[in-house]
């Protein structure tokens, strides 16, 4: 489509095309220039991209709503059929819908339709994806007969955590209501606030807190003073979540957890389908479902040598025949073996692990190849969160939406990170405030907020002030904490890992 473009430029094009579809703008829409004035080529690239999708009989993710709205608006009989079919509709997270979703909903809800919408405008955090909380605020204007039910009792957090969260969100200039949230969980435990000298020390303190509240991951922890052994409550690793504003913050945290031997899971990593070896395997599988798809043919044959083209030509009919009787996991094994042996493709350890993850995911689909392929393309970052794993969860604040944990730690509670205002980023202070509110209200029993005086961000060492949001919380709800001064001799990594078992 744009052969001379870099990977970064292609990503920017795709992001803008997705945004255009969220606004229901076609490639030739005059408003395209108005919304994207800095990209004069967008209309041309968008049109080429659309033509490529049609030639391969494909839809991208944003097409699922964009083309449905087009269909309903152009075919009244089709719209009528679905209006008659869906007489009861329920929409969750209504505060996060975008224009295309709003338009689809209005088309499906003529007078007489039963609609239930659930949402919280204080948790609207997806403005960067085109979401408009205004649709929630005008709900009663759109649906005058609707009954409003205010759910003011919280069944998750302690009253102390709720009081702090309400104090933060109460400062929002655009807040629609002043709903007073209350809880039956009355606990005098205050929010812990810790200022670390550096981001490295901050990461170590996160590990230190987990070890304390778990009761020590080994006798080493007690011997060195990293845990006191006197904590009233003892938690398991799966009770902890470490939430951060940007993925860049996760590196030091991962290194600290690796050194400690504490098990953890990271959520919000690069999706499997973004990796070259995974795309290669999936292309072979897609061709068994749609042999004429030039998009996948190009992925399979683009880098193939002449002798490899012949081998692929012999292999594909065998793979298509196997797809009628073998499981998806077996098909992945066949493709992987063909790539390794016949095409002499080498995979490093990281690539082999990703292929193994793809295969593990496939085992739940049996022989439903198309279902597996479609599900893999549509997976969301939070789909990789395993609530049953006894591991500390590391994830972004955005990814934590809708989840809850007994203990939540939020590092990086400082200016430039929360609110996020680094160079080149237009800060939406109110949305950043709502994002912090979401983070606070993920906690059930304990909430630990951390900030560092000095931090390495994108190659630069910066000095930051504590986040303005921390200042909104009453001193009576906060407790300043200091890291234990005792210096511990680090054990061998193998010794610490074994001590966990």
Q: Are residues 114 and 125 in the same domain?
A: yes
Higher pLDDT, 460 or 291: 291
Q: Are residues 411 and 343 in the same domain?
A: no
Q: For residue 16, what are the domain limits?
A: 7-60
- Residue 414, domain CATH: 3.40.50.300
Q: Are residues 234 and 293 in the same domain?
A: no
Q: Which value, to the nearest 10 degrees, does the dihedral of the CA atoms of residues 466, 469, 471, 472 take?
A: 180
Secondary structure (3-state) at 448: strand
Q: State the pLDDT at residue 179.
A: 72
Q: Read off the pLDDT of residues 372-420 as tens digits, 9 standing for 90 and up.
A: 998 888 765 555 677 888 999 999 999 999 999 999 999 999 999 999 9
Residue 123 falls inside a structural domain: yes
pLDDT band, residue 129 (cuts 50/70/90): confident
Secondary structure (3-state) at 191: strand
The pair of three-digit structure tokens given for residue 464, joined into one six-digit string: 């930051």
Q: Are residues 291 and 431 in the same domain?
A: no
Q: Are residues 404 and 495 in the same domain?
A: yes
Nearby residues of 389 by Cβ (< 8 Å), 6 or more positions away: 238, 263, 265
What mean pLDDT is reported for the chain? 88
Return the closest-CA partner of residue 381 out of 246, 306, 479, 271. 271
Return the closest-CA partner of residue 484 out of 145, 241, 152, 207. 207
Q: Are residues 265 and 281 in the same domain?
A: no
**Is-contact 210 497, C-beta < 8 A?**
no
Q: Are residues 213 and 264 in the same domain?
A: yes
Last residue of a domain, one of 357, 378, 399: 378
Q: Read off the pLDDT of residues 8-57 as tens digits, 9 standing for 90 and up.
A: 888 899 999 999 999 999 999 999 999 999 888 999 999 999 999 998 88
Q: Are residues 252 and 280 in the same domain?
A: no
Higher pLDDT, 475 or 221: 475
Residue 149 falls inside a structural domain: no
Residue 153 falls inside a structural domain: no
**Is-contact 273 60, C-beta < 8 A?**
no
Q: Read off the pLDDT of residues 298-309 as tens digits, 9 standing for 90 and up.
A: 889 877 888 889
Secondary structure (3-state) at 104: helix
Q: Which residues make beta-bridge pairs with 409?
A: 242, 448
Using alpha carbons only, how large is the chain's radius of gyration in Å?
Answer: 26
Domain count, the chain: 4
Residue 116 falls inside a structural domain: yes
Centre a 10 Å sphere on the Cβ of residue 496 and count the other Cβ atoms it contains.
18
Give phi and psi for 433, each to the nearest 5: -65, -45
pLDDT band, residue 495 (cuts 50/70/90): very low
Q: Are residues 399 and 370 in the same domain?
A: no
Rounded Cα distance between 176 and 234, Å, is 40
Q: Are residues 164 and 253 in the same domain?
A: yes
Residue 411 C-beta-side C-alpha neighbours within 13 Å: 31
Residue 241 falls inside a structural domain: yes
Q: Are residues 466 and 478 in the same domain?
A: yes
């Amino acid at each position: 489509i744009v052969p001379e473009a870099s990977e970064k430029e292609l990503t920017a094009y795709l992001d803008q095309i997705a945004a255009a579809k969220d606004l229901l703008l076609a490639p030739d829409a005059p408003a395209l220039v108005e919304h994207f004035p800095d990209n004069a080529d967008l209309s041309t690239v968008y049109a080429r991209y659309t033509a490529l999708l049609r030639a391969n009989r494909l839809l991208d993710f944003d097409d699922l709503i964009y083309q449905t709205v087009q269909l309903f608006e152009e075919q009244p009989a089709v719209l009528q059929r679905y209006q008659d079919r869906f007489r009861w509709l329920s929409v969750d997270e209504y505060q996060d819908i975008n224009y295309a979703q709003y338009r689809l909903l209005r088309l499906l809800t003529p007078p007489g339709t039963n609609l239930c919408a659930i949402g919280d405008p204080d948790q609207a955090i997806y403005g960067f994806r085109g979401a408009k909380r205004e649709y929630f605020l005008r709900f009663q204007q759109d649906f005058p007969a609707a009954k409003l039910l205010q759910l003011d009792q919280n069944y998750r957090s302690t009253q102390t955590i709720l009081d702090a969260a309400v104090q933060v969100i109460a400062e929002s200039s655009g807040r629609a209501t002043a709903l007073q949230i209350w809880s039956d969980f009355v606990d005098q435990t205050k929010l812990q606030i810790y200022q670390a000298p550096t981001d490295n020390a901050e990461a170590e303190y996160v590990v230190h807190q987990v070890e304390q509240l778990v009761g020590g991951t080994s006798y080493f922890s007690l011997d060195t003073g990293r845990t006191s052994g006197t904590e009233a409550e003892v938690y398991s690793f799966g009770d902890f979540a470490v939430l951060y504003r940007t993925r860049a913050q996760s590196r030091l945290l991962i290194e600290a957890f690796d050194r400690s031997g504490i098990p953890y899971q990271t959520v919000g990593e690069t999706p499997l389908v973004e990796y070259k070896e995974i795309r290669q395997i999936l292309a072979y599988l897609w061709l068994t479902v749609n042999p004429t798809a030039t998009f996948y043919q190009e992925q399979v044959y683009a880098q193939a040598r002449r002798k490899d083209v012949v081998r692929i030509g012999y292999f594909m009919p065998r793979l298509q025949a196997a797809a009628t009787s073998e499981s998806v996991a077996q098909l992945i094994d066949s493709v992987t073996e063909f790539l390794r042996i016949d095409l002499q493709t080498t995979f490093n350890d990281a690539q082999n692990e990703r292929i193994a993850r793809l295969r593990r995911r496939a085992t739940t689909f049996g022989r439903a190849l198309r279902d597996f392929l479609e599900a893999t393309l549509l997976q969301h970052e939070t789909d990789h969160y395993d609530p049953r794993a006894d591991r500390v969860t590391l994830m972004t604040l955005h990814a934590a939406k809708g989840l809850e944990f007994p203990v939540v730690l939020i590092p990086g509670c400082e200016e430039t990170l929360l609110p996020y205002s680094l160079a080149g980023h237009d800060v939406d202070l109110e949305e950043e405030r709502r994002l912090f509110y979401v983070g606070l209200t993920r906690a059930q029993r304990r909430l630990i907020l951390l900030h560092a005086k000095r931090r390495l961000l994108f190659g630069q060492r910066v000095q930051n002030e504590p986040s303005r949001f921390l200042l909104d919380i009453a001193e009576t709800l906060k407790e300043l904490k200091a890291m234990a001064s005792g210096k511990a001799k680090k054990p061998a990594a193998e010794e610490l890992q074994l001590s966990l078992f």
